Amino acid sequence: PRRCGTPGQAAPAGLSQSPQTGVVQHGAMNVFRFLGDASHLAAIILLIWKIWKTRSCAGISLNSQILFAVVYICRYLDLVLAFVSVYNTVMKLFFITSSCATVYLMLFKFRPTYNKASDLIRADYLVAPCILLALLINYEFSFVEIMWTFSIYLEAIAIFPQLYMVQTTGEAETITSHYLFALGSYRGLYILNWIYRYWFENHLDLISIFAGIVQTVLYCDFFYLYITRVLQGEKMKLPA
């Protein structure tokens, strides 16, 4: 799901504008985007199911979950400005509510199980540089556009506290590993989506592509361990 403009406005990044009507049109669905969205949904469902099933948020970074909640809230401000489609609206609402629900579960309901001592990368340390970058490099200097751009930059590194937590503890539960793999796969599939859109729709979103590559690179070590260990039936353990 992406933000949408209104008739008469220049098309925001990631959208196209009809030269005849001036109506901003949402990017067409393709198999890579659909699979990316499905992988993203699976990741969030796995995370919430893990927390609720085990009655514990052990091994989960609260800082990463707070960052993801900030990402979705800032990215989908356009919910109150324009309607794109039922699919688009439902997905945006799901990401906002599920991320906020996860933060609630970790902060209140299952807080005693949260391992704060291992969650060492503070969220505010990552927010500040992303705000600065969004102010400097964006497609349009307006509030909604800056918030969208900020969310793209922040999402690229929002998983870093979680990956660092796994590095610190030296291991991750299998269900947590599945969650991280699904989340990383979502971004990898979206890179293929951007390639597809450039090739068939002549659309190029350099900000999203740059951020997506950064995010995927962060997952590289994890992907290798997931494929060589978790998929072989072993628990995710980092080399000593």
pTM: 0.85
Average pLDDT over residues 135-142: 96
**Tens of pLDDT, residues 147-202:** 999 999 999 999 999 999 998 888 888 889 999 999 999 988 998 999 999 999 99
List helix spans (H) across the chain. 31-54, 62-75, 86-104, 123-136, 143-157, 160-169, 174-201, 206-228
**Tens of pLDDT, residues 100-115:** 999 999 999 999 999 9
11 vs 2, 7, 14, 32, CA distance in Å? 12, 9, 8, 23
The CB-side HSE value for 129 (13 A sphere, CA atoms) comes to 10
Backbone angles phi, psi at 110, to 5 degrees: -120, 25
Average pLDDT over residues 131-137: 97
Residue 6 has pLDDT above 70, yes or no: no
What are the structure tokens assigned to 71, written together? 């990402």
